[in-house]
């Protein structure tokens, strides 16, 4: 009987530990620099829990969010965490392409009075693929101002997706590269179902030319601590182009 009780106790402890670990992985917020933060949520892809990174910026006029959580259960917890941590509300959100790990929360945030944005091309693809859509559309590369901060949306050409844009904070040298940019530990360019295999490298080159000498490069998934991510992505994209041209 004692052995059975011990075994049950160990099983219960293991279950609780795993549950706590899973809960701790639901939403992570990490300080990047100054008023910039990275938030990470998780979702299952091919049997693995995969992290997806977004960025948010705290200003005197509210918080700007770049991309939405991949985990649909974290739409509100992210807003709550930002309010609790900074005593500021999210006032705008820009999604960088039409995939669910970027646009999933757009309608949810729009219903809560947050201004949501995508490009016209992203909206077209979202509509065709029955993905969430934004309230406001960006027709061309646009510079936004919120509080004392300025940032630019930039479309470098097709790569990971036909519509992928990046967000560039020139003064702070911060690039929100999203899924166009892979982390330095990635061995491949990941999902290529909507990719332009011949133009991917050119689009990354355009980012490198436009967003000069970034001090921080936020990748769409995984590690975001290395500015070498751009060059690493370019090298993989060039190999992909050569392979596709054969």
| Tokens 């899973």 belong to residue | 22
At 54 the three-state DSSP class reads strand
Instruction: Please report which confidence band the pLDDT of residue 22 belongs to, taking 50, 70 and 90 as the band edges.
Output: very low
* Average pLDDT, integer, range 143-163: 98
- Chain mean pLDDT for the chain: 91
Q: Domain for residue 5, yes or no?
A: no
Q: Domain for residue 226, yes or no?
A: yes
Q: Report pLDDT digits (tens) over 207-245.
A: 999 999 999 999 999 999 999 999 999 999 999 999 988
CB 176 within 8 A of CB 207: no
Q: How far apart are CA 138 and CA 120, in angstroms?
A: 6
Q: Domain for residue 2, yes or no?
A: no
User: Of the ranges 70-74, 132-136, 222-226, 241-245, which one carries the lowest mean pLDDT score?
Assistant: 241-245
What is the bridge-based pairing of β-strands 142-146 and 216-219?
A: unpaired
CB 71 within 8 A of CB 27: yes
Q: Domain for residue 9, yes or no?
A: no
DSSP letter assigned to residue 117: E
Q: Report pLDDT digits (tens) over 175-187.
A: 999 999 999 999 9
Instruction: Please report which confidence band the pLDDT of residue 18 belongs to, taking 50, 70 and 90 as the band edges.
Output: very low
Instruction: Please tell me the predicted confidence (pLDDT) of residue 46.
Output: 81
Distances from the Cα of 109 to the Cαs of 33, 43, 68, 72, 76, in angstroms?
Answer: 25, 19, 9, 12, 9
Distances from the Cα of 18 to the Cαs of 14, 27, 91, 106, 134, in angstroms?
Answer: 6, 16, 35, 31, 36
Domain count, the chain: 1
pTM of the predicted model as reported, rounded to 2 decimal places: 0.89
At 236 the three-state DSSP class reads helix
Instruction: Please tell me the predicted confidence (pLDDT) of residue 206.
Output: 98
DSSP letter assigned to residue 189: -
Q: Report pLDDT digits (tens) over 27-58.
A: 999 999 999 999 999 998 888 899 999 999 99
Residue 46 belongs to a domain with what CATH number? 3.60.15.10
Q: Domain for residue 10, yes or no?
A: no
Q: Any bridge partners for residue 65, and if so which?
A: 56, 93
At 187 the three-state DSSP class reads coil
Q: Domain for residue 22, yes or no?
A: no
For 190, how many CA atoms within 13 A lie in the half-sphere containing its CB?
A: 22
Q: Domain for residue 16, yes or no?
A: no
Q: Domain for residue 13, yes or no?
A: no
| Domain range enclosing 159 | 28-245
């Amino acid at each position: 009987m004692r052995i059975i009780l011990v075994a049950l106790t160990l099983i219960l402890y293991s279950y609780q530990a795993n549950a706590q670990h899973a809960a701790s992985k639901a939403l992570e917020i990490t300080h990047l620099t100054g008023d910039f933060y990275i938030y990470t949520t998780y979702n299952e892809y091919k049997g693995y829990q995969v992290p997806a990174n977004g960025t948010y910026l705290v200003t005197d006029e509210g918080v700007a969010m770049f991309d939405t959580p991949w985990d649909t259960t974290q739409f509100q917890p992210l807003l709550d965490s930002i309010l609790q941590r900074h005593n500021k509300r999210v006032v705008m959100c820009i999604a960088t392409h039409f995939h669910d790990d970027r646009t999933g929360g757009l309608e949810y945030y729009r219903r809560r009075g947050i201004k949501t944005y995508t490009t016209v091309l992203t909206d077209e693809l979202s509509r065709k693929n029955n993905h969430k859509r934004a309230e406001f559309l960006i027709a061309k590369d646009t510079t936004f101002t919120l509080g004392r901060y300025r940032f630019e949306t930039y479309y470098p050409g097709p790569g990971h997706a036909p519509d992928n844009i990046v967000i560039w904070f020139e003064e702070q040298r911060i690039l929100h590269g999203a899924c166009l940019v892979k982390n330095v530990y990635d061995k491949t360019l990941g999902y290529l179902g909507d990719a332009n295999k011949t133009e991917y490298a050119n689009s990354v080159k355009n980012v490198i030319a436009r967003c000069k000498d970034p001090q921080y490069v936020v990748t769409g998934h995984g590690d975001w601590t290395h500015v070498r991510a751009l060059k690493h992505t370019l090298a993989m994209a060039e190999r992909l182009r050569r392979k596709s041209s054969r």
